Chains A and B, each alone.
Chain A
Amino acid sequence: MIIKLERVEVQSRTDMEMIDVTAEVDRVVAASGAREGVVLVLTCHTSSGLLVTEGIECLERDVLAHLERLAPKQPPEGAYGYWHNRYLDFDGRLGFNAGDHLKSILGGVNCFFPIENGAVVRGSRQRVYFVEYDGPLARTVLIQVIGQ
């Protein structure tokens, strides 16, 4: 039985951004030595996401734009407000990124793939993305292999 957990740091460079981490997932699986099993991928942060979609730039823009429409950083004037606008003593600062937390919930925070013959099994168009909703920040993505 092989169980291996790796923490991968991802540096986002702007406010909202999709970062393809497929190669990192493949690397961790290959290094684990597992021939059969599963690989789990999870973001550690509640204002970021982890999702699977086709790896083309236009679709990346559409994903971010649609999530911003669903959960805008600043709600339309007079429409509604966020409760998450208050001083958080445990952080020493105000929380005011409710829209980014909501995007994380809507877009999801994890994914998994089977491992077969030592390689990740995924659709030909599928890519694994870390999604930044409140950058730029250095973020941590967990990649765990469970196999044999």
Chain B
Amino acid sequence: MKGGIDFHTHPLLVREMVQRHPGLAKAARETFLIGNTFQPLETFLLELDTVGLGRAVVLPIDATGTRGTTVYSNEQIAELCAMSDRLIGFASVDPCRESAADELEHAISDLHLRGLKLAPAMQQMFPDHPSLEPVYARAEALGIPILFHAGMSWEPGSRLAYGQPLRFEPVAADHPSLRIVLAHLAWPWVMEAVALALKYPNVYLDTSALYFDNPPDFLRFAMTVQVPLSVFERSLRRQIVFGSNYPRVEVKNMARAVRGLGLSDGCLDLVFRSNAETLLGEES
């Protein structure tokens, strides 16, 4: 598993960045609603080390239109990634802005970010809204993946309806070469998310789901009771990526939960490493 990737992290607790940009503390506390102590970047990297992972995708959220703030700007993500070659930066754009597609191209071409994060519930725009079409077309042209928040959101004011998997179907169907990731297994609509992934090979799911109990118990419910584990092992083995949703969940706890599900070693290697590399265009 060495060289594995955590495909879903939010670098909200990185103390060095909060010291440089005090507004990030407010965004972490008031927009993302995370209350943990700020930590040196080293802690985050040690989290990865603890479970043998090499790198992590770090995600911003541009919620300027709805919350009046970004939870990390694209420039701040690039600044963070300059601190460690173990971090893979994604961009975010506010879909309300007409310039969103151009901003995305700037983030990829000039800031060297590697993908796009969209959070329909926080950005209050359904993923099948026509105004997002230029953003999807640009992402497809740039050859980058899009990671969508899907399923339930904890943040107050974030309506569940924005995360329903079927609202993502037009994106997958109309852009077959655009790789999209539905985060959090789109819980509670795991079956619908699985149906999308079964039908559309460009749809991936990430494992960063935890809404009650603890990581091993929750994932056992979502990935063996709601949907049989054999579906992930046999049919979707190339469309599942490991994500922790750090710092809402520690990397170590989510990684151990995924490894404890009973997936084969070959499938775990796909989930923790190979599928993420494919999404990032790194496959050899």
Contacts and interface: CB of A to CB of B under 8 A. Distances in A.
> Do the two shown chains form a genuine complex with each other?
yes
B39 A138 contact: yes
Given A137-B39, A138-B40, A94 B210 contact: yes
A96 interface: yes
Given A15-B50, A138-B43, A93 B212 contact: no
A33 interface: no
A137 B46 CA distance: 8
Interface residues of A, number: 21
A137 to B, nearest CB: 6
Interface in A61-109: 74, 82, 85-94, 96
B131 interface: no
B212 A15 contact: no
B242 interface: no
Interface string B83-120: 00000000000000000000000000000000000000
A87 B50 contact: no
B212 A94 contact: yes
A92 B33 contact: yes
B50 A14 contact: yes
B106 to A, nearest CB: 31
Given A94-B210, A94-B212, A136 B34 contact: no
A83 to B, nearest CB: 11
A85 B212 contact: yes
A92 B212 contact: no
Interface stretch (B56-64, B121-129, B184-192, B247-255): B247-255
B154 interface: yes
Given A90-B35, A92-B248, A85 B46 contact: no
A148 interface: no
Interface residues of B, number: 29
Contact of A14 (B40, B46, B214): B46
B50 A136 contact: yes
B174 interface: no
Interface string B50-72: 10000000000000000000000
A11 interface: yes
The dominant DSSP class at the B interface is loop
B11 to A, nearest CB: 15
B34 A86 contact: no
Given A93-B248, A96-B215, 10 more contacts: A11-B40, A11-B46, A85-B217, A87-B212, A91-B36, A92-B32, A94-B211, A136-B43, A138-B37, A138-B40
B79 interface: no
Given A11-B40, A11-B42, A87-B212, A93 B249 contact: yes
Nearest to B260: A74
Contacts of B37: 137-138
A87 to B, nearest CB: 7
Nearest to A137: B43
Given A87-B154, A91-B34, A136 B212 contact: no
B132 to A, nearest CB: 27
12 contacts: A11-B46, A13-B46, A13-B49, A85-B214, A89-B33, A91-B34, A91-B36, A92-B32, A96-B214, A136-B47, A138-B42, A138-B43
